[in-house]
Amino acid sequence: MGRLAERRPAPCRVRKWQRGTSLLELLVVTALILIFIAITIDRIWQLRIAAERTNIEQLIGTLKGALGTELATSVARGNSSLALAAYHHANPIALLEQPPENYLGEFDTAPEEPVPGAWYFNRREGTLNYRVRFGDDFVGGNPEAPLLIRFQIRLDYDDRNRNGRYDPALDSLRSIGLVSLDDYRWQAAADEEGDE
């Protein structure tokens, strides 16, 4: 037993790679994490803008499809001109079975502060309006309200009596459509399309 008691454990040698983290290493890791966070935030912002743009395009496409269905139904029934005249400047949301969640309703005039990311129908102008939520990359829109996009149902007809309005008995109806009253685009989307 005397020999065991006399033996002492050898002192632990700390190898260079076993030491703690140096300040430089900690700074490098922190810098990399901050760069990653900055890139992620930028990408998330771009995805939010793309989602808004896609939602607008999807609703407009759905409304155009519903309008086309109404046109086809009216033509099949043989009363296309008179029935379609009622849609001129009407609320296209009425064509849907259920309005979108961000639809505020019909107003006689534009709300003073439209809710960003919401649709509403202006009865006086006969326009479906969308207030852009993420306007950083948005270009165009209504000159009087830059973050507003307006759409309207319009009849395309041959105005034979040149009175500026559709007369089913006289004028020849060519088509009906939902048109944008304002030129608009998202700058980031235009840049991406130019890169391709």
Token duo for residue 86: 């009622």
Tokens 């534009």, located at residue: 110
Class of residue 182 by CB neighbours under 10 A (exposed 0-12, middle 13-18, buried 19+): middle
Place of tokens 């760069």: 35
Show me where the domains of the chain are located: 23-195
Beta strands in the chain (DSSP E): 103-107, 118-122, 127-131, 138-140, 148-158, 172-180, 184-186
CB 182 within 8 A of CB 123: no
pLDDT of residue 151: 96
The pLDDT value recorded for residue 173 is: 78
pLDDT score, position 190: 52
pTM summary value: 0.73
Which pLDDT value is given to residue 8?
A: 66
Instruction: For residue 118, report the phi and psi dihedrals to the nearest 5 degrees.
Output: -125, 155
Identify the pLDDT of residue 95. Answer: 92
What is the structure's pLDDT at 160?
Answer: 87
In sequence order, which ranges of 78-150 are alpha helices (DSSP H)?
A: 80-85
Q: What is the pLDDT along the chain (196 residues), one digit of tens a residue?
A: 555 556 666 666 655 555 677 888 889 999 999 999 999 988 888 888 889 999 999 999 999 999 988 888 877 877 666 677 788 889 999 999 999 999 999 999 888 888 899 999 999 999 999 999 988 888 888 777 888 999 999 888 888 888 888 887 788 777 888 999 999 888 865 555 555 5
Position 69 scores a pLDDT of 87
- Output the pLDDT for position 7: 66
Query: What was the pLDDT predicted at 189?
Result: 56
